Amino acid sequence: MAETLIDLPKNTTHVTCERLQQRLADAIVLHTHAKQAHWNVKGPAFIALHELFDRLAALAGEQADRLAERIVALGQRAQGTAQDVVRMTRLPDWPQGVGSGFEHLNALARATAAYANGLRADARAVDEVGEMVSADLLVTLAGETDKMLWMLEAHLAADA
């Protein structure tokens, strides 16, 4: 643990960073899932989905950076290597054989929902140990992610 003048009890910092680290792993995986879909989507809605998936990738990448920076600000080491992420993520693996725009949308909506739900659960847990700054960050990220999920689901409704 690095020195910091942030005056939080060690247990609060430990619980908070553990939760932030979990979401960091999931944000990195969500980013790679969105890029996988972005690169491989085909069909009549190609350009709309291609751009939507890139927006999701950008959001997940930016959120990963904010999570990692908060972990480091609290005196911990952000763990974002491929090995770390594979070991820690709770998001589902990208399904094999995904081809249609609908299949990409469905897989991304499920991964995005799992990530957003994790953000909300961790916001509650971090708030319970008294770390309001990180709880606020997690709530903000959940709101941003919910908006993106709404956009994915709007496309799913149109494709159904």
pTM: 0.95
The residue-averaged pLDDT of 1-8 equals 82
Q: How many CB atoms lie within 10 A of CB 28?
A: 25
Superfamily of structural domain 10-159: Ferritin, core subunit, four-helix bundle (1.20.1260.10)
Q: Which pLDDT value is given to residue 134?
A: 98
DSSP 8-state class, residue 49:
H
Q: Which pLDDT value is given to residue 158?
A: 61
Torsion angle in degrees (nearest 10) through CA of 62, 65, 148, 46: 50
pLDDT digits (tens, 9 = 90+) for 86-128: 999 999 999 999 889 999 999 999 999 999 999 999 999 999 9
pLDDT digits (tens, 9 = 90+) for 7-38: 899 999 999 999 999 999 999 999 999 999 99
The answer to whether 76 and 2 have CB atoms below 8 angstroms apart is yes
| 159: pLDDT strictly greater than 60 | no
